[in-house]
Structures are given as C-alpha cells and as structure tokens.
Chains A and B, each alone.
Chain A
Amino acid sequence: MSEGVLHAGAGHAVHHADYLEEPKGLWSWLTTVDHKRIGLMYMWSVLFFFLVGGIFALLIRLELLTPKQTIMDAETYNRVFTLHGAIMTFLVIIPAIPAALGNFALPLLLGAKDVAFPRLNLASLYVYWTGAAMAVATLALGGVDTGWTFYTPYSTTTGGGVTLMVLAAFVLGFSSIFTGVNFIATIHKLRAPGMGWFEMPLFCWGMYATALIQILATPVLGITLLLIVMERVLGVGIFDPQLGGDPVLFQHFFWFYSHPAVYIMILPAMAVISEVIPTFSKKTIFGYKAIAFSSVAIALLGFLVWAHHMFVAGMSLFAGAIFSFLTFFIAIPSAIKVFNWIATMWRGSISLEAPMLYAISFLLIFTIGGLTGLFLAALSTDVHLHDTYFVVSHFHYVMAGSNLIALLAGMHYWWPKMYGRLYNKKLAAISCALIFIGFNMTFLPQFVLGSRGMPRRYFNYLPQFQDLHVASTIGSWVLAAGLFLTAAYLLASFRQPKGMAANPWGGRTLEWETTSPPTTHNFEGQPVLQHGPYDYRPEPAPVGVKELAH
C-alpha cells in the first residue's frame, strides 16, 4: 500500500478530524458548503444515474438480440433509448468529471480552501437533484419518445412527458452553468500564492476550458428548450413549418449547444488523464503549454463546427463545406494531446496501478473514438454513415469509452484522498481488463453494423444484421460485469480502516500535500507553491506547505 509513497506529506503533529467526519450527521451533509462533500455527493448521484442509464442500456441491448420484438414493444423501446440517452448525457456525463471530481479536486490542486462561491456550489447540486427528479418524473407521464436530440417537429407533436423532460434538461443546464461560473472565478482568484497560470496543474486548465463551454453554450440550450415548451404550449411557430417556421433551425439551436457539449464531456476526461499519466510515469508532463492551450483551443474551436451533425438535414452545400472544413481542425489539438501523453510515458518510470491502467485504456479507446469522428466529419462518408450505428459507436467510444473510463481513472486516482482508503488492486486490474474487453466487444461490431447500413434508433432490423447485434449484446454483459465488479470492490474498500498516507502515488501536485482525507479547510494554513506541478527532479527546493502570515 505504501509502495508508492515518496514523502509522507507535511507531517503535522496536530490531528484534525477530516472533512468526512466533521461535522457529523446527514443534515450537515445536506447543508454543507464544503467543495469536497459537494463533490462526493455529486459523484454518488452521478454513479447512481450511471447505474440507471446502464440498466436501460442493457435493456436496449437485450431487445436488439433478435431482429423482431424480444422483450418490449416498439413504443417502450423508443422511450428506453431516449431515457438512456438523456440520462447518460444530462445526468451522468456532463456533471461526471467537472461536478464530481472537479469539485473535489480543483480547490485542492489550486491550494485553495474552497471554490469561489461555495453556496452557489451547493445550489448547483440541489438544482441538479431537482432536474434529475423532474427527468425521472417523466416516467409517470408516460415517458418521452423523442430521442435525446428532441428534434422538431416530432418533439413538438408527440405526446407524453416531453415538456417536463425538456424543462428538466433546462434546469440541469443551470446546475452546469453554476459549476462553470464557480470554476472560472475560482481559477482566476483563488490560486495559491506563487501559482502562475503555467504552474497550475493541467487538470485546472481542462476545467477552465470546460467551464468556458458551460458558460457560453448552455444558455443557448436553455432558450432552445424553452422554445420547444413554447411551441408545445402556445404553438409559437418558430420551428413548425405549418406555421411558417423552420424545423431545421431547431437543429442549429440544438447543436450550437450540443456539439460544444461533447467537449464538456471530453475535456475533463483529458484533464484527468493529464494528471494520472505524469504521476504514474514519475516524469514531468511533456509539452505542458501545448496541452494547456490545446484544451482551450478545443473549447473555442468546438463552437464553430456544430452543423456537422446536419450534413444531410437539408443544409446548403456552402454551409456543409464550411462546417466540415472547420471540424477537421479539432483533430489537431486532440492529436497533440494524445502524442504528448505518450511522450510523457517515454523514458518514465511507469507503474501500472489501476488509474494508469484506465488511462492507457483511455488512450487506446480515444484514438479509435476520435479517428472515427473523421469519417463523420468528411462530407461524402458522413452521407453514408449519418444516423447509423457507426455514429452510435463513435459516440460511445468517446463518451462511454473515453469519458467514463477517465472518470474511473480519476476515481481510482483520488479515492485514497477522498476516503483515506485503498481498494483491492488486483480486482481493480481485473475489472479494468474486463471493461476494456467488454467495451470493445460491445461497440466494435457496431461500427461494422453502421457501415453496412444499419440505421440507429431501430426497434426492428433486418435479419442480416443479427450476428453483429448478438456479439454486441454479449459484449455489453462483459462490460456490465466489469463495472459491477468495480462498484463491488470500491464499496468493499469502506470495510478497511482509514490509513492512507498523504501521498500514496508520489504525486507532485498540491492535493498530495495535505492529509488523506483532508481536513475541512483542506490545508493547514495557506500553501505556497515552490515548484511546478510535475517536477519530479530529486533536487528542487523542498515542497512546501508553508504558513502564510495573514
């Protein structure tokens, strides 16, 4: 357990109760403004909904085992995949890393006592819960069958709980905005003394870039969703061709948010990977600035390309060309990151702890996920592949395969810091392997399904596609087995006593300077930065948490 310990942190004599214990009681958790507790509550909420969304996913896969009806009818199926998509995007993956790990780790990494607006932070959690409750309540209204994209005029004319679901997503948007506002203000104003922009851990750069998108894109989603509500309630006409409106305009509105939103999903994942790889390679990150700037570049470029989801949706040729052209530029910062991470491992001292195993899975899966984006960004191939399982597979590779695996990497990385306990390392390695294999078994066949012409959102399909669907379904069970195993050993870790050293992995960023778990105010006094975040040279000035005279 203490293998990786380089230095046992600042060995303070005074013992403070950690943030988990002090103050006690459920009420104290529900009213806490401590970023760490809020982060944990977010994390467990997200995991809960991940389980729910995952169960829906398993039902989808089960249904697709046979070409005709297997376990549910078409209407149920449509509701199931809509809920799966909506839960996974709005309730799981968008808050997953920023709101859960980000809340927990960002102030620690910055050497701050909390985020800039702790109460706004708590509000964001409650808003999230409200939105989640609303989304779940749609089930009582007969569910929603629009797909997570809510395309008009279907969404304005179908029955069921669309209005409530749309409002739920609207409310969830606020929780995302609150997190974003908080993080930007925190990064600007609460860095530890001595921490310039380029002494910040890359995680913070990733969070910053994410927050930019959250702030700039989410409001447009908000108004788009309100317009759907207005269309349904008042018949305002903006998206209804019968009333002089334009249904394709809705798609512009929707993707103006939802394309950048995919970078809300991937940038935090990249942020986690940028922490994990140097720590377990025991080597400074390769090309710090390139990685930092590429995060911001991805965030900003991400705003210019949204209509690549609409190449066959009746856009003009000119627009198609522009959007395709711009899309390709996002590949460049992504490539820089991938190769810089690999270069970081080069000549390092690589320790294959669980977080590192997940990070390596991330690298491999993201390479496939990202490069298959190029098929879709290219005009002529997208015409063939649009709305087929190829797209489904592409986005699972980047969302489930990259983001959630990075979430797992981050959870395994900071678990000792969160709880002061360690999980069973052997089980961790096994389940990482299961997840990697299961994931690829589930989604590789879907690429082939897609390129052979199997459309998505299909309840029935032609028998010629069955073999690959069966393979995919079996893969989903392997994947589920891996995830359930992960959940099991993580929960089992609570049976051990707390006893982690402050710095089990030998990391060099500030969170490892405080106790595991940290006290309520994170650090004894104000830490002052004395070396860069990834400085593994034996010589540099002693790391320091120093009392800063007020």
Chain B
Amino acid sequence: MTHANEHAHPVTSPKTYGLVLLALLVLTVITVQASYFDFGPWNTVVALIIASAKGSLVALFFMHLRHDKFNAVIFVGGLLFLAIFLIWTLFDISTRQTVLPSNLKTPVEEFPGAPLGGPVRPSTGQPRGMPAQ
C-alpha cells in the first residue's frame, strides 16, 4: 500500500543519532558565529538557511521522515501551505503604493500612538498603547 513503513519499522542505530546531534550542535555554533558577521541584506537569509538545515536533520533522522514517505508528504504539504499563506499575503503587502494627500503638512509618524515614553493616544486621550474603549 501507500506506506513505506507498512511492515518493518526500521531501527536506526544510536550511533547515527549521535552523529546527527553532533551536526546539529556544530550548526548551532556556526549560526551563532555567523550572526557576528554582516552579510548585509543576506543576514536573515543565512540564518534561515542554517536553521532549515538543522530542521531538515531533525525531521529526517529524529522524526524518521527518511523512512516515512507518506508522512513526509503530509508534513511538507503543511509547510507548502504555510508558504502560500506568506507569499500570497506578500502579494498585497509588498506591492502597495503609498497614497498621501498632496497637502499633508506633517510627515506620517511611525508610531503615532506609542513612541518612547508614556503619553496619550491622540484621538481618545487614553494612555498610549491602550486599546480604545
């Protein structure tokens, strides 16, 4: 039938697991070290690539997806839909143009309701950052 694990559940030896752990620890060191370098806009990308490498190790070995094609499809499917969520949302968020009235006197504030200290939300007079009533 559909499942590779239908009959035998292959047993992986502890040694393999040990090697995987080692690899994971090494990658952790690498990613911490890499955070001290400046790759410019690629910083996040580098960090995410290393994280994905670690994630794949965990999924393939610890979670046995190596031997478990069926559940791998489920899992990757889930990730795929997460990607759709992100990308389709970006279709909107990253292609919006900013509309401004031509006579806008003051520049648009980044955090009108909550800059550094304490005061108020302009429209309702409540303390900053409070949900209005």
Which of A's residues lie within 8 Å of B, judged by CB? 153, 156-157, 159, 188, 216, 220, 231-232, 235, 237, 240-244, 246, 248-249, 252, 256, 303-304, 306-307, 310, 314-319, 322-323
Contacts and interface: CB of A to CB of B under 8 A. Distances in A.
B131 A235 contact: yes
B93 interface: yes
B112 A242 contact: yes
A252 B94 CA distance: 13
B47 interface: no
Given A216-B78, A232-B131, A307-B92, 11 more contacts: A153-B132, A157-B131, A157-B133, A235-B131, A240-B113, A242-B111, A242-B114, A252-B93, A303-B81, A303-B84, A314-B96
B92 A316 contact: yes
B113 A243 contact: yes
Contacts of B81: 216, 303
Given A220-B85, A303-B81, A304-B84, A240 B131 contact: yes
Given A216-B81, A243-B114, A322 B91 contact: yes
Interface of A is mostly: helix
B133 A235 contact: no
Given A252-B92, A316-B96, A319-B92, A244 B131 contact: no
A318 B89 CA distance: 12
A235 B130 contact: yes
A499 B120 CA distance: 73
Contact of A237 (B88, B91, B129, B132): B129
Contacts of A303: 81, 84
User: How many of chain B's residues touch chain A, expressed as a range?
Assistant: 20 to 34
Given A256-B85, A304-B84, A319 B113 contact: no
B23 to A, nearest CB: 30
Interface of B is mostly: loop
B121 A242 contact: yes
B96 A315 contact: yes
A314 B110 CA distance: 19
B2 interface: yes
Interface of B: 2, 77-78, 81, 84-85, 88-89, 91-93, 95-97, 110-114, 121, 129-133
A159 B113 CA distance: 20
A319 B88 CA distance: 8
Contact of B97 (A237, A256, A316): A316
B104 to A, nearest CB: 16
Contacts of A310: 92
Contacts of B97: 316
17 contacts: A188-B2, A220-B85, A240-B131, A242-B112, A242-B113, A242-B114, A242-B129, A243-B111, A244-B111, A244-B114, A252-B89, A256-B85, A307-B92, A316-B96, A319-B91, A319-B92, A323-B91
A518 to B, nearest CB: 27
Contacts of A323: 88, 91
A246 B94 CA distance: 13
Nearest to B84: A303
B118 to A, nearest CB: 14
Nearest to B70: A188
B95 A318 contact: yes
Contacts of A216: 77-78, 81
A72 B111 CA distance: 40
A273 B112 CA distance: 54
Contacts of A304: 84, 88
Contacts of A232: 131
A157 B92 CA distance: 25
